[in-house]
Structure 1
Amino acid sequence: MTDRLDDFRITAPAEIAALLKQLADQSVHLSLNAPNGSSITVTVWTVDAARGKISFSAVADDPQLNSLVDCDEAVAVGYLESVKLQFDVDDLVLVRAGAHSALNGAFPSELFRFQRRNGFRVSPMLRTTPVARLRHPMIPDMQLGLRVLDVSIGGCALFLPDDVPPLDPGVLLNGVTLELDADTRVATSLRLHHVTAFNPDSRGVRLGCEMVSPGSDGVRALQRYIDLTQKRRRMLAAG
């Protein structure tokens, strides 16, 4: 049987190296996730396919750094425009250097390249105002209710007003509740990947987020919401 991931798998070292170098050149934030649940944000520092090595730049005082290194392996996830890249990193070794540290690992033997939007993305109906409720990651006492601009099975976009302290790409937003309509509540974490400015009159920015571990119930609720929203839009268009 053909592996359903074969269409997305890249095994040529030169092609893998080229994609990793793009990540490095653009200083793309990657999420490194270890089997023990540890997760940190890094950028690719150097890529050496000939020697079979890759290095990441990490924040030395990240509280989960040592726990991740103890696992000796992690899965890296990052984005190049509309494409999601994912690869395993083995033989992790930490080299400390002041405020930042180099995290060295083995050059990946394969890399997966997915289209970022793995599900239909819908904008809420005008009569509803979905919100994402969460605490500001840098100011835990600050409760936020951010408007949901659009949503798919894999992610969502939120509106961050100018009067709210900014959020940096790469940050993990824990304890998020998406209140999409009267019947749909989804508990998830969100990984912020993109911050995009609107026109000056909008008084805010767009946060492009990936959903992290919404759970099977959350995924089913999202699918129902997306299907229902599509159906309602088709009915309005037909009328």
Structure 2
Amino acid sequence: MEETEPVKAAPPVFELELPDDYSQYLLHSRTEVLAVLRSVVQKGALITAHFDQGRSFFLTSMIALQPDDGELILDVGSNEEMNARALKAGKLIFTTVVDKVKIQFSLERLRRTDYQGRPAFVGAVPGTLLRLQRREFFRLATPVATPIRLCTTLMPEGRAVNVSLLDISGGGVGLMAPLDLAGLLERGRMLENCRIMLPGEGLLAATLCVRNLFDVTTRGGSRYVRVGCEFVGLPTARLTAVQRYIIHVERERKARLNGLS
């Protein structure tokens, strides 16, 4: 493996350590975790192992998976000093990509072993793994000429909410909220009984969770708050309706573009 010196830049941010934002991509089922790890072995994917709060890393690959022992086997790095430091690390985060899907998992400790006559690292199979496949959640900017609106009532304040959608995906929606509403839409707040009328699909009833907020200033000087919300427990039938709507709008947009070309 290629020798790598300690990282001097600011440490990276790992999605695995942001469960509030990426909970929908976390796998907790042992069967699912093992299936993903097997794909990493089969593809021979190159893995970056980060430690020392992300300031140091080395390149490795997963040689074998031993589910009966609850262990995975990793290749050692080419730098022996880096290998020694990795063995002393209290936590390591491993990142790789398989079929354009980012995979992350963490291990509390590595130890030395020999595997088929060659030096290797061994660690426990992780209980949780992040599989970040965002392709399934294509985000569609909603039509400006015919805005889609979300209606709900914030409880216990009793504040009626009627705001425009900026975008929609199978994972959630982006809302255009007035500044005075931002104080009531703190991160993590659940928005119950939300109603969104999707053209061609009818009424979409959903529960949303606020994930992020930030101020936006338009070219004209107007200000609003963009509120990123995640669908919570959206039934399959409603998710299918969202996806049908997105596909329909995209087809119309492409047809218009082809007509102008």
TM-score normalized with structure 1 length = 0.54
State the 1:170 CA deviation. Answer: 1.2
SS in 1 for 2:175: strand
**Is residue 211 of structure 1 aligned with residue 231 of structure 2?**
yes
Partner residue of 2:217?
Answer: 199
Report matched runs for 1:11-160 at 5 Å: 109-116=127-134, 118-137=136-155, 139=157, 141-160=158-177
Residue in structure 2 matching 1:232, options 252, 255, 259: 252
1:84–1:116 Cα contact (<8 Å) kept: no
Kindly state the Cα deviation for residue 9 of structure 1 after the two structures are TM-superposed. Answer: 9.6
Change (3 A) 1:7 1:50: closer
CA contact (8 A) 2:140 2:246 kept: yes
Figure out how many residues of one structure are paired with residues of the other and give that number: 156
Q: Measured at CA, do residues 158 and 50 of structure 1 come closer, stay the same or move farther in structure 2, by a change above 3 Å?
A: same
Distance 1:164 1:85, change over 3 A: farther
Match of 2:187 among 148, 165, 169: 169
Q: Distance between the aligned counterparts of 1:184 and 1:178, measured in 2?
A: 8
Deviations 1:7-62 (A, max 9, x none): 6999x9x869969xxxxxxxxxxxxxxxxxxxxxxxxxxxxx969xxxxxxxxxxx
Richer in helix (by share): 2
SS of residue paired to 2:143: coil
Whether contact under 8 Å (2:182, 2:225) holds in the other structure is: no
Of Structure 1 and Structure 2, the greater strand share is in 1
Matches of 1:137 and 1:86 in 2, distance apart? 38
Contact 1:195 1:206 in 2 (8 A): yes
2:196 to 178, 186, 199: 178
Displacement after TM superposition at 1:225 (Å): 0.2
CA-based RMSD: 3.8
Local SS of the residue matching 1:238: helix
Instruction: State the partner residue of 1:6.
Output: 36
Give SS of 1:192's match: strand
1:85–1:6 CA distance, 2 compared to 1 (3 A): closer
Q: Partners of 1:181 and 1:142 in 2: how far apart?
A: 26
Return closer, same or farther for 1:207/1:16 CA change in 2, 3 Å cut-off: farther
Aligned 8 A contact 2:147 2:165 in 1: yes
Alignment partners' CA distance in 1, 2:104 and 2:207: 19
Per-residue deviation, 1:115: 4.3
Give, in angstroms, the shift of residue 127 of structure 1: 3.1
Residues 109-141 of structure 1, C-alpha deviations (whole Å, 9 max, x = no match): 3332424563211112233211111112451x2
Percent of paired sites with the same residue: 26
* More moved, 166-175 vs 218-227: 166-175
Give the secondary structure class of the aligned counterpart of 2:251. helix
